[in-house]
Amino acid sequence: MTPVSDLQNFLPTLLVLVRLQLCSCEDGENVTLSNYSDDSAFPSLDYSDFPSVCSKNTNLQFRLWFMPVFYSAVCFLGLTGNLLVIFTVFYFRRLKTMTDVYLLNLSFADLLFALSLPFWAASSMAHWVLGLPLCKAMYTVYKVSFYSSMFLLSSISVDRYFAIAKAVSAHRHRSRAVLISKVSTAFIWMAALVFSIPEMAYTNITNNTCSPFSSHFDRLRIGVQMSQIVFTFVLPLLVMAFCYSSIVQTLYQARNLERNKAIKVILAVVTVFLLCQVPYNLVLFWTTIVTAQGGTESCSYDNGLVYATDITQSVAFLRCCLNPFVYAFIGVKFRHDLLKLLKDFGCMSQEMFFRYTCGRRSSGATETETTTTFSP
């Protein structure tokens, strides 16, 4: 029985006891509880104004089985894929272009977030018992990883835009490309830290749950979430849309046998980004609107928002293990380097290595900076 129902059952008896103390009957009889045993002797109460508690048991049960399984799979794939990318880059010293630098930092960002997924799984299964420092660290790592990834993906699209659509001007600055990428990467990490300050400051443990904002900060949360959506999602999305549309237009005009394959890779990049990030940001935006309007009185609607947030956030987390495949392994250099790495460590025979590599690198153009990322 809930506290609200207990209060509803106790109120009539309480009012009767008050009347026993204050009232007396005209015939001198003592007033007893039996005088109020029937409903006609006591006016009925309207309980419609009493607040009801919205049960979240179904959401809790869903989190108990879905989140640990999903987060464990994403953590394993994210650690494996990003560690392979990082090891391959350092083993072959592949930091020769701007995209190489951005891809390496993207793998570090995704690896950092993959390491925090066990804490997310623990948070979804039970009450938070790991203390406030780890609570703040979990949300801060997530936000830093997310913001740096978004900015790095935008930087990759800008680099590919100049390398393909503006090849002449990009060639003039080729000697300074790596230096420019390292400086811009430092600014990207600094910007990600700045945008994560609200999570560092306002993440707290409320009702044994680790959450970035308590109910006392609804107005602050609305402003922070709206600004984060605009500057860390909408603007990068617009940058990538402009760059990739210009790249596709340039490739369609070029007479190159690799054109169709490159366009397929670009479409894969955009599709993965849209499928992973757009649903969660739309739900986050709508949840912020509902909070700004004072919440909802429908318990089923509130539970639906919780389900939508959990599922779309999990899909957004999936991006950290897909990036290595989309942005690294699908490229010619990284795929060739990975196969060579397996051969050097005895995991692949020489014959199998030549079977997978010979005949697929038909033109010298696939080794150029222009096709680093977008060659299959």
DSSP code per residue over 77-124: HHHHHHHHHHHHHHHHT---SHHHHHHHHHHHHHHHHHHHHHHHHHHH
Residue 32: count other Cβ atoms within 10 Å of its Cβ.
10
Query: String of b and e for 109-134 (b: at least 16 CB within 10 Å)?
Result: bbbbbbebbebbbbbbeeebeeeeee
Cα-based distances in Å from 285 to 131, 252, 323 = 29, 36, 24
Enter the tokens of residue 349: 């025979």
Is the Cβ–Cβ distance between 158 and 243 less than 8 Å? Answer: yes
Q: Helices 299-323 and 98-125 sit at what angle, rounded to 10 degrees? A: 140
End-to-end CA distance of the chain: 62
33: Cα within 13 Å, side-chain hemisphere: 5
Average pLDDT of adjacent 10-residue blocks, the chain of 376 residues: 46 46 45 46 48 68 83 91 88 80 90 90 79 88 90 88 77 74 93 88 82 65 79 88 87 65 70 85 84 76 83 87 76 77 79 70 42 40
Res 188: pLDDT: 95
DSSP code per residue over 169-189: HHHHTGGGHHHHHHHHHHHHH
For the whole prediction, is pTM greater than 0.85? no
Instruction: State pLDDT tens for residues 61-108.
Output: 877 888 888 888 999 999 998 998 898 888 887 777 888 888 889 899
Res 31: pLDDT: 45
**Burial class of residue 88 (count of CB atoms within 10 Å of its CB; 0-12, 13-18, 19+):** buried
* SS3 call for 340: helix
Is the Cβ–Cβ distance between 135 and 203 less than 8 Å? Answer: yes
Instruction: State pLDDT tens for residues 152-173.
Output: 989 988 888 888 887 766 666 6
H helices of the chain, in order, are 3-22, 57-92, 98-125, 132-160, 167-172, 177-195, 197-202, 218-229, 235-253, 259-292, 299-323, 332-344, 350-357
Res 8: pLDDT: 46
Enter the tokens of residue 195: 């945008």
Using alpha carbons only, what angle is made at residue 294 by residues 293 and 295, rounded to the nearest 5 degrees? 100
Superfamily of segment(s) 65-371: Rhodopsin 7-helix transmembrane proteins (1.20.1070.10)
Map out the domains of the chain as residue ranges: 65-371
Answer positive or negative: Cα dihedral of 286, 288, 291, 292: negative
Q: Helices 299-323 and 57-92 sit at what angle, rounded to 10 degrees? A: 10
